[in-house]
Amino acid sequence: MILGLLESLGRRALFQLDPETAHGLSIKALKAGLPVALSPRHDERLRTSVAGLDFDNPLGMAAGYDKNAEVPDALLTLGFGFVEVGTLTPLPQVGNPKPRIFRLERDEAVINRLGFNNMGHEAAERRLAGRSHRAGIVGVNIGANKDSAERIDDYELGVRRFARIASYLTINISSPNTAGLRDMQAREQLSELLARVVGARNALSSDEGRTTPLFLKIAPDLYEADLEDIAAEMKAHAIDGAIVSNTTLSRQGLSSAKHTEEAGGLSGKPLFERSTIVLAKMRKLLGPETALIGVGGVGSAETAVEKIRAGADLVQLYTGIIYAGPALPGRILNGMSRIMETEKLASIGMLRDTRRDYWSAKPL
């Protein structure tokens, strides 16, 4: 029944639904194994190694789409080179009252104030353990419960719970929808947080011989001095990489008729410029060795490649697929292959940093 219904649902029909209902249906379609898009052709030139992991291609599904690790393998089938599940908190959590996702159609943007709605660590661990024999890079994004008395403890629990089954872990301290969470980006708190998560990760690693890479996901609403502090702490604690960026609180330059004043984080096209500037500045501060994942407003091969030129090793998207549908990753990868052809490049990594200085010179 749901299959037949979905087959007849195009983007226009999905857009008649409340965004959260549409999201739920898309998860169901992937879970049911519906052939929602063709897998793209493999291209050796798009392969890349980052933080000790070998990616088939540099395009990933960003956190927040598959919060509960229900469909990572179906997402990989769409062509994504990696999938980040979560954000997961230790205890299940309902999040904020609905409605809490809004489409800003004219801007190809979304505002969300979900507030880490998720089924908690245990449920996700069970699902991930069930797929652990499979190939494919699946990262786990971890956060803190809204009512947690000791938020750092929640991150430590996340590391302990998922380090063995995650390809990498993302410490998410940049959601605008949990009050005070972003304050953990301030230097003193960040230093304590990073010491604790690295300690937890290393304790497990020494038992097992594998070191799970730790990435830090940051907000775009930061100034130069904040970025300098974050980069310094990342270096001091040998954090493997940064994900730049989460959604923004800014409402600059929007033209949609509705929803622009809703509270929450803005994602999609209008986030591209700011998140790319922050990315390039972080590349400059961190140097060439630290992994960087560029995210924010990617919706085409050109925007994906521009993130790499600005300094990204890998790229992620979420909002783009809401507007373009499940064929988007395949289209972006084919477009990247064409760019490799035109520029006569043997490897996508050769594009990295080629426009870093252009982007990092822009003011925040």
Ligand X SMILES: Cc1cc2nc3c(=O)[nH]c(=O)nc-3n(C[C@H](O)[C@H](O)[C@H](O)COP(=O)(O)O)c2cc1C
Q: Specify whether the CB–CB gap between 150 and 95 falls below 8 A.
A: no
Contact region with ligand X (CB under 6 A), list: 28-36, 62-70, 157-165, 304-312: 62-70
Q: What is the DSSP string of 204-249?
A: HHHHHS----EEEEE-S---HHHHHHHHHHHHHTT--EEEE---BS
Toward ligand X, which CB reaches closer, 26 or 175? 175
Q: Which two tokens stand for residue 170?
A: 């993302």
Q: Does 88 bind ligand X (CB under 6 A)?
A: no
| Cα dihedral 81→199→92→99 (10° resolution) | -60
**Rounded to whole angstroms, how far apart are CA atoms 197 and 212?**
11
Toward ligand X, which CB reaches closer, 40 or 296? 296
* 175 included as an active-site residue: yes
- List 111's β-bridge partners, or say none: 102, 266
Instruction: Write down the least CB distance from residue 174 to ligand X, Å.
Output: 7
Size of the site for ligand X (CB under 6 A): 27
Q: Does 271 bind ligand X (CB under 6 A)?
A: yes
Toward ligand X, which CB reaches closer, 110 or 135? 110
Helix axes 120-130, 151-162, angle to 10 degrees: 20
| Cα dihedral 79→326→319→178 (10° resolution) | -80
Toward ligand X, which CB reaches closer, 141 or 145? 141
Identify how many contiguous H helices and E strands the chain contains and give both numbers: 13, 13
Looking only at the bridges linking them, the beta strands covering 48-50 and 53-55 are antiparallel
Q: Which of 67, 103, 307, 355 binds ligand X (CB under 6 A)?
A: 67
Instruction: Write down the least CB distance from residue 267 to ligand X, Å.
Output: 3
Instruction: Write down the least CB distance from residue 325 to ligand X, Å.
Output: 14
Which residue out of 174, 175, 245, 275 is catalytically annotated?
175
Q: Specify whether the CB–CB gap between 56 and 163 falls below 8 A.
A: no
Site string for ligand X, 303-332 (x = CB under 6 A): --------------xxxx------------
Per CB under 6 A, which of residues 186..225 are in contact with ligand X? 217
Q: Does 296 bind ligand X (CB under 6 A)?
A: yes
Residues near ligand X (CB under 6 A): 62-64, 67, 86-87, 101, 110, 112, 114, 141, 172, 175, 217, 246-247, 267-268, 271, 295-298, 317-320
Residues labelled catalytic: 175
